[in-house]
Amino acid sequence: MNVVPADVAAELEAPLPVTDDQRRRFREQGYLKVPGVFSAATLAWIDGTISRLVETNNPLAGVPMESRDTYGKAFIQVFNLWLKSDEARAVSRSRRLAGIATALLGTTGVRMWHDQALFKEPGGGFTPWHADQQYWPMASALCATAWIPLHAVPLERGPLSFAPGSHLKRIGRDLVISDESERLIREGIATEGITEVIEPYAAGEVSFHLGWTLHRAGPNTTSEARRVHTVIYMDEAMRLAQPKNASQEADHRAWTPSTRVGEVMADALNPVLHSA
C-alpha cells in the first residue's frame, strides 16, 4: 500500500529544471539556494514525516543542553531515516532532489551517501565552520548535500551560511567540526578575503553545497526548533578512496561497508537515485 499521498509522491518525483546560470553559480560559489523546490502542502507532509522520526530516535533525549559539548549543542542528529520508514524513504530518494543534484554536479547520475536530520533545538548553539568532505573517503569532489529546511528559517533560527568559493581553496580541510575549526576557518577565510554569506531561507527553498564548501550555522535563539533534513549525493561512479583519518575510516564502515578501496561505492546503502 502506498503510504505517501498521491500529490506528494508526484511532486517528489517530478523533475525541476536547472538553468545554465544556476549551474554556473554553483560551480563558482560552491553552493546554490534553489527556491520553490517544494509546495507548502508537500513541505508540511515532509515536516511531519521527518519530525516524527527525530522525536522517536532522538539520541540526546533527556540530556540537558548545558551538559553537552559544542557539537551536541549544535543539533540533534539522526541518520538513515530512509531506512526507518517508507515515508522517509520517499523523501530521501526523491527524484526531484536527486535530479537537481545530478544537474549541478554535471554527472550522469548520483548515488546516496547517506541522509540525516539536523534539528537545532530552541536555545541550540552554533554549528562551527567545517567542510563535510573531511569526513568522507571519496576519490573525487563530485558530491553535494541537499539542505532541506522543513519551514522558513529566519536568521535568528540558525540557517546555513557559506564561504563562497571556498571549495576552490584548501582552508580547514583537516579539521573536524569543533571550536578549533570555528576559529581557524574563520581566520582562514578572512585571510583569503572571503566574505561569509548568510541569508534566511523561504519555505520550500533548498540549498545544495559541495563537499569542500565551507559552511556554518548560527544559534537558534527562538522558541521553536530549526527542523532540517539533508540528503548527501555522490557521483554514481564514485570510488572509495583510502581513508585518510579516523573519521573517514568510520564512515567507510558505516556508509559503504561492502566496498573496498578503489571500487565504485555500490553498496546496498548507496543506491543510485538518478541516472541518465
> Which cell is 198 given?
548568510
pLDDT digits (tens, 9 = 90+) for 59-116: 999 999 999 999 999 999 999 999 999 999 999 999 999 999 999 999 999 999 999 9
In order of 126, 205, 209, 245, 264, the CA distances from 160 in angstroms are 10, 12, 10, 26, 31
Residue 1: per-residue pLDDT: 44
Residue 90 in any domain: the answer is yes
Residue 38 in any domain: the answer is yes
Has residue 132 got a pLDDT over 60?
yes
**DSSP, res 155:** G
Q: Which of 58, 64, 61, 50 is nearest to 78 (CA)?
A: 58
Residue 275 in any domain: the answer is no
Measured in whole angstroms, the distance separating CA 82 from the mean position of its chain's CA atoms is 14
In order of 94, 154, 231, 235, the CA distances from 10 in angstroms are 10, 29, 19, 25
> Which cell is 142 given?
563530485
Residue 272 in any domain: the answer is no
pLDDT digits (tens, 9 = 90+) for 219-250: 999 999 999 999 999 999 999 999 999 999 99
Q: Which position has the grid cell 563535510? A: 132
Range of the domain at 192: 6-264
Q: 140-143 long-range contacts, Cβ below 8 Å, gap at least 24? A: 140/235, 140/238, 140/239, 141/167, 141/210, 141/211, 141/212, 142/105, 142/106, 142/107, 142/234, 142/235, 142/238, 143/105, 143/113, 143/210, 143/211, 143/232, 143/233, 143/234, 143/235, 143/238
Residue 273 in any domain: the answer is no
Mean pLDDT of the chain: 97
Q: Give the dihedral sign, CA 243/269/33/216.
A: negative
8 A C-beta contact, residue 130 and residue 85: no
In order of 63, 107, 152, 219, the CA distances from 224 in angstroms are 18, 38, 12, 12
pLDDT digits (tens, 9 = 90+) for 175-218: 999 999 999 999 999 999 999 999 999 999 999 999 999 999 99
> Which cell is 259 given?
566496498
Has residue 2 got a pLDDT over 70?
no
Percent of the chain residues past pLDDT 70, beyond the cut: 99
> pTM (2 decimals)?
0.97
Name the band, by pLDDT with cuts 50, 70 and 90, for residue 138: very high
Residue 3: per-residue pLDDT: 87
8 A C-beta contact, residue 153 and residue 118: no
DSSP H or E segment with residue 14: none
Q: What is the DSSP annotation of 160-180?
A: EEE-TTGGGS-SSTT--SSHH
Q: What CATH number is attached to the domain comprising 126?
A: 2.60.120.620
β-bridge partners, 153: 201
Percent of the chain residues past pLDDT 90, beyond the cut: 99
Residue 39 in any domain: the answer is yes
Residue 253 in any domain: the answer is yes
Mean pLDDT to the nearest integer, 42-55: 98
Residue 249 in any domain: the answer is yes
- The beta-strand segments (E) located in 50-198 are 76-79, 109-120, 127-130, 143-149, 160-162, 197-198
Q: How many domains does the chain have?
A: 1
Residue 276: per-residue pLDDT: 85
